[in-house]
Amino acid sequence: MATVTNFNDLDLNATYTYADYLKWKFEERLELFRGKIFKMSPAPSRGHQKILSKLHIAFASQFNTTLCNVYFAPFDVRLQKIKANDEKVITVVQPDLCVICDENKLDDKGCNGAPDLIVEILSPGNSKKEMGIKFDLYEENEVKEYWIVDTSEKTVFMYVLKENKFIGLKPFIEDDNIKSTLLPELNFPLAEIFN
């Protein structure tokens, strides 16, 4: 496939790979879910970005002396259980925030494999994608911990992978201290994020 400079030139019914994705040179932001194109929402709201910024600061300060790396969108994550070349990768996501503790998964293009922890922030219009499609993709590809942040309710839902299935913990509310099950050094008051 040659370089594509206009989104409308793509066949939305076709199945694509990461190699195809790398040749798309247009403004629209996309993700690939099992080879199918999902157009991302326009730029997130200011509130969404403010929460993401505060989360990134909280995460980065917790991991500045560890081997774990923290990245925020846009950052390509090629989800697959076994490393494959670009022509075989059919799922590419851009989580709001992710933590990768295995440096072998990192390259100049992003993350090749499942991050250890992923955070997605709900925005109007993306709840179905974050709580349904991405939930299933993250579980299937063995992301060890998944946080869904509901900014309107000032709540964080944490899911931990146990025997290849996500198990939901009691929701964390604004007054709680949130602590990662996977990475216990990640521990901070949620009020810092939602204020």
Residues of the chain with pLDDT under 70: 1, 42-43, 125-126, 129
How does 126-156 read in b/e, with b if 16+ C-beta sit within 10 Å?
beebbeebbbebbeebebbbbbbbebeebbb
Per-residue pLDDT tens digits for 60-117: 988 877 789 999 999 999 998 877 788 999 999 999 999 999 999 999 999 999 999 9
All structural domains of the chain with their residue ranges: 46-73+93-194
Question: Residue 126: what pLDDT?
Answer: 65
Q: What is the mean pLDDT of the chain?
A: 91
The predicted model scores a pTM of 0.93
The CATH superfamily label for domain 46-73+93-194 reads tt1808, chain A (3.90.1570.10)
Distance CA 182, CA 116 (A): 8
**Angle made by CA atoms 129, 130, 135, in degrees to the nearest 5:** 105
